[in-house]
Amino acid sequence: MTGDGRARPAAGDGRPQGADRASFRPRLYAPGPVAVPPSVLEALARPVVHHRTDAFRATFVRVRAALAEVLEVAGDEVMLLTGSGTTAFEAALVAAVPRGAHVLALRGGKFGDRWAAMARAFGYRVSEHDVAWGRAFDVDGLRVRLADVGQPDAVTLVHSETSTGVLHDVAALAEAVRTHAPDALVLVDAVTSLAAAELRPRAWGLDAVVAGSQKGVMLPPGLGFAWLSERAWARGEEAGRRVPAYTLDLHRERPRQRAGDSGTTPATSLVVAAEVALGLLLAEGLPARRQALGRRNRALLAAGRALGAEPFAERASPAVAAMTTPEGLAAPAVVRALADRGVRIAGGQDHLASRLIRPSLLGHGDDYDAVVLAAALEDAWRDLGRTVASGAAVAAAMAVLGS
Ligand SMILES: *Cc1c(COP(=O)(O)O)cnc(C)c1O
């Protein structure tokens, strides 16, 4: 019986079951969209402003400058687009890579596949370089492939491949491209690495870096960000065979955005909130933020390991803890059991759907969120009939956090 005299349906160990689960509050622990800080939510609740005003233009200009800082290209222009991360990748691709060009797409997961498919949709000649999902690209393999395919005009890379949890070594891979295919532009999907992993577009010689608002920047979905190197801007300008674009024509947008304008109505409320979100990141400091996310992600992987789940990524991204469930424990069932307790994580995609779970602490939160997630994983395991020593995953997570 409970305090109010209701009979509580209880499992053998007395844990709350069934209707009591309605008392769990929703927790978003997926690798995007992520939980958003309260001050950002407050900014989103402000009255809608008009975009053709001096005040909004000033905000737009400041947000672009803050984005450049977060991307570690301070002083350069970052294009601020209404749309998702994919929108930004598309805009950057067609702005920099001329019609009919040869694109080498590195595919090691869902997003690598997407950029190859996109390049094909735009009529580029596309070659692929593949690695098994969960593995990281190595420099030697890329060198061999570059020699195979001749001199591509552009190479697409995913920094943090969210579908597999792998953080690819973009610094080394970009260097290999510069050495063996010096004219190839290096276009990088940094959607889940931005603000989570070290990313140095200039020092690494990258030509385009794109991201979106609903991941490490801790905003709702709806904004895309794209930085292009001077070489990439020039390549697009000079070619005289630009792939057609209109709302996503970055060459047209560039002078407008410099003045705080954009060709179409931007997502004004998101832009206003972006100033708050980016301000929080810069106040915390990128190195501190990265360290915290790395620690929390290691805690999640340790919690999973205590339950018999294995890290999937050869080189783990701090943005997502991709793990294979133990034999006989179906990943979709784990995702559902967690959802019953208010906890939203991501499952696996494509051929990994039955075995992969992908919790993430990329959003607003603190170290204790890793402990909450560890406790929820233990409960999900029990819900699915597994015997788990009480506190096993929690202890494993805390051992990492405390160390
Ligand atoms: C989420 C994600 C994307 C896609 O971003 P959208 O905002 O959904 O368009 C692309 N790449 C990676 C690595 C992602 O995690």
Residues 156 and 70 in one domain: yes
Q: For the range 237-241, what are the long-range contacts, defined as Cβ-Cβ under 8 Å and sequence gap of 24 or more?
A: 239/98, 239/99, 240/98, 241/98, 241/99, 241/100
Which DSSP state fits 354?
T
Q: How far is the CA of 90 from the centre of ligand 1 (A)?
A: 12
Domain boundary among 225, 247, 282: 282
pLDDT of residue 23: 84
Paired tokens of 235: 């390549």
Q: Is 70 exceeded by the pLDDT of residue 10?
A: no
Last residue of a domain, one of 226, 253, 282: 282
Which ligand 1 atom is nearest residue 160's CA?
Answer: 13
Report if residue 89 sits inside a domain.
Answer: yes
pLDDT of 324-336, one tens digit each?
Answer: 999 999 999 999 9
Q: Evaluate whether 233 touches 252 at the Cβ level (below 8 Å).
A: no
Going by alpha carbons, the residue nearest to atom 12 of ligand 1 is 191
Please determine, for residue 7, whether its predicted confidence score (pLDDT) is greater than 80: no
User: Has residue 8 got a pLDDT over 70?
Assistant: no
Enclosing domain of residue 397 = 21-31+285-401
Residue 188 C-alpha to ligand 1 middle, in angstroms?
12
Q: Indicate whether 16 belongs to any domain.
A: no
Residue 403 has pLDDT above 90, yes or no: no
Q: Are 298 and 400 in contact (CB under 8 A)?
A: yes
Does some domain include residue 5? Answer: no
Measure 194 CA to ligand 1 centroid, in angstroms: 11
Give the domain CATH number at 323: 3.90.1150.10
pLDDT in tens, 298-326: 999 999 999 999 999 999 999 999 999 99
CA of 386 to the centre of ligand 1 (A): 34
Query: Same domain for 175 and 300?
Result: no
Nearest to 185 by CA among 250, 99, 103, 258: 103
* Residues written for the chain: 403
Q: Is 2 part of any domain? A: no
Q: Are residues 174 and 76 in the same domain?
A: yes
Q: Can you tell me the mean pLDDT for 265-277?
A: 98
Q: For residue range 32-43, list pLDDT tens digits in order.
A: 999 999 999 999
Segment 187-212 mean pLDDT: 98
183 and 74 share a domain? yes
Flag whether pLDDT at 12 surpasses 70.
no
Rounded CA-CA distance 75/81 in Å is: 18
Q: Are residues 138 and 43 part of one domain? A: yes
Q: Which residues pair with 208 in a beta bridge?
A: 187, 228
Spatial CB neighbours of 344, under 8 Å, sequence gap ≥ 6: 26, 27, 28, 29, 30, 338
In the chain, what percentage of residues exceed pLDDT 70? 94
pLDDT for res 21: 65
- For ligand 1, the distance from its centroid to the CA atom of residue 85, given in whole angstroms, is 5
Instruction: Specify whether 189 is located in the same domain as 221.
Output: yes
β-sheet with 78-82: strand ranges across: 78-82, 223-228, 208-212, 185-189, 154-158, 102-107, 125-130
CB crowding 115-149: b at 16 or more within 10 Å, else e: bbebbeebebebbbbbbebbbbbbeebbbebbeeb
* DSSP string of 170-197, one letter each residue: HHHHHHHHHHH-TT-EEEEE-TTTTTTS
Say yes or no: 209 and 331 in one domain. no
Residue 148 lies in a domain: yes
Residue 119 · residue 153 · CB < 8 Å: no
In a shared domain, residues 337 and 262: no
Instruction: Count how many domains the chain has.
Output: 2
Q: Return the ligand 1 atom nearest residue 88 CA.
A: 9
Q: What is the pLDDT of residues 65-114, one digit of tens each?
A: 999 999 999 999 999 999 999 999 999 999 999 999 999 999 999 999 99
Ligand 1 pocket test: which of 34, 86, 188 has the largest number of ligand atoms within 8 Å of its C-beta?
A: 86
Instruction: Dump pLDDT digits (tens) for 335-378.
Output: 999 999 999 999 999 999 999 999 999 999 999 999 999 999 99
Question: Which of 282, 300, 322 marks a domain boundary?
Answer: 282
Of 386, 362, 390, 360, the C-alpha closest to 373 is 360
Q: Retrieve residue 41's tokens.
A: 């939510």
Model confidence band, residue 5 (pLDDT cutoffs 50, 70, 90): very low
Q: What percent of the chain has pLDDT over 90?
A: 93
Ligand 1: residue whose CA is nearest its atom 6: 85
Rounded to 5 degrees, φ, ψ at 340 are -60, -25
* Rounded distance between C-alpha atoms, residue 270 and residue 277, angstroms: 10
CATH of the domain at 220: 3.40.640.10
Region of residue 277 (left: phi > 0; alpha: psi -120 to 50; beta: else): alpha
Which of 108, 83, 392, 133 lies closest to 265, judged by CA?
A: 83
pTM score, two decimals? 0.94
Cβ neighbors of 138 (< 8 A, separation 6 or more) are none
Residue 175 counted as domain residue: yes
Does a structural domain hold residue 4? no
- Asked if residue 236 has pLDDT above 70, the reply is yes
What is the Å distance from ligand 1's center to 358 Cα? 14
- pLDDT for residue 6: 40
Where does ligand 1 bind, in terms of residues with CB under 6 Å?
Answer: 32, 84-86, 111, 158, 160, 162, 189, 191-192, 212
